[in-house]
């Protein structure tokens, strides 16, 4: 259950990053409200999950989902440039997150 909360929190992190962009320096009210709601939800769920998870792997999953999700969203809907290097880099971020998660497994 804690891992599900981390994953949801990661997607909420994508939401608050996108809303931050759309707020144009906190000058547009609805994206600012979205930023606050997504941010509170993301940090709240991550905080809850960290009661039972190791901080390193959980934080890596949270930031990895947020970074990759934000990059993909930007390329798909905000007009960010798309390149092979960006896509490979997103894959590397996700591979690093998986590797860090696997390194924490007790054998």
What size, in residues, is the chain? Answer: 107
For residues 10 and 58, what is the distance between their CA atoms, to the nearest angstrom?
10
pTM comes to: 0.90
Q: What is the pLDDT of residue 101?
A: 80
Are 35 and 16 spatial neighbours (Cβ–Cβ below 8 Å)? Answer: yes
Q: What is the pLDDT along the chain (107 residues), one digit of tens a residue?
A: 999 999 999 999 999 999 999 999 999 999 999 999 999 999 999 999 999 999 988 999 999 999 999 999 999 999 999 999 999 999 999 999 888 888 866 54
Q: What is the pLDDT of residue 107?
A: 47
């Amino acid at each position: 259950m804690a891992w599900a909360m981390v994953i949801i929190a990661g997607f909420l992190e994508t939401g608050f990053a996108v809303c931050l962009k759309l707020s144009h320096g906190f000058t547009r009210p609805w994206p600012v409200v979205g930023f606050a709601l997504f941010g509170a939800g993301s940090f709240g769920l991550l905080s809850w999950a960290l009661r039972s998870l190791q901080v390193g792997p959980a934080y890596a999953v949270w930031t990895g989902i947020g970074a990759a999700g934000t990059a993909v969203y930007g390329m798909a809907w905000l007009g960010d440039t798309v390149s092979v290097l960006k896509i490979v880099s997103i894959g590397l971020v996700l591979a690093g997150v998986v590797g860090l998660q696997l390194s924490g497994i007790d054998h």
